[in-house]
Structure 1
Amino acid sequence: MHIAVLTLTFSLPGCRSLKEKRQRMGGLHERFGRHPSIAVCESGDLDRHDASEWTCVVVGTTAREVASLCSEIEDKSQRTVDGRMLDATREFL
């Protein structure tokens, strides 16, 4: 069993409300939380309008599978979130 913790940090310039923040984040929780190998939550900057941090725990039978899922999450997040991804860190446990 291989486990990775992927933390994504976003900047949301011009975002003025928590409602707008949820809309601009594009439903990351719904998109990735449905996958049986991924757990996702908003982990930081909860009360800030112009920033958001999300953490995904990815589990798989091989390190390659986990790395592939992490890359997929990063790529889709960059394309779908109405903001800038500032950082993406991976920690393998």
Structure 2
Amino acid sequence: MHIAILTLTFSLPGCGSLKEKRQRMVGLHARFGNTPSVAVCESGERDRHDASEWTLVVVGLSKREVESLCSQIEDKIERTVDARVMNVEREFV
């Protein structure tokens, strides 16, 4: 079994409240949290309006499978989340 920890840092320009931030970022958990091989949580910048950090734990039978899933997640986030991705870190455990 292979495990990757994918941490993404976001900038939310023009976001004026925590309520707006949650509305803009809520899709992240809904999109990926239902996948059996992915766990999702907001891991940082919880009290800031203009930034957010999310961590996803991705599990698969092969490193290739995990890398592919991480790439798919990154691509989908770039296309669908109403925020600017500032940093992406991948760590294999």
TM-score scaled by length of structure 1: 0.96
Q: By how many angstroms is 1:22 displaced?
A: 1.3
CA offsets 1:10-69 (integer angstroms, 9 cap, x no match): 000110111111121251011100000000000000010000000000000000110011
1:26–1:81 Cα contact (<8 Å) kept? no
1:26–1:80 Cα contact (<8 Å) kept? no
| 2:65 alignment partner in structure 1 | 65
Q: How many residues align?
A: 93
Q: RMSD between aligned alpha carbons?
A: 0.8
| 2:74 alignment partner in structure 1 | 74
TM-score scaled by length of structure 2: 0.96
Any stretches of 5+ residues in structure 1 without a counterpart? Answer: none
**Post-superposition, which runs of at least 4 consecutive aligned residues in structure 1 deviate over 3 A?**
none
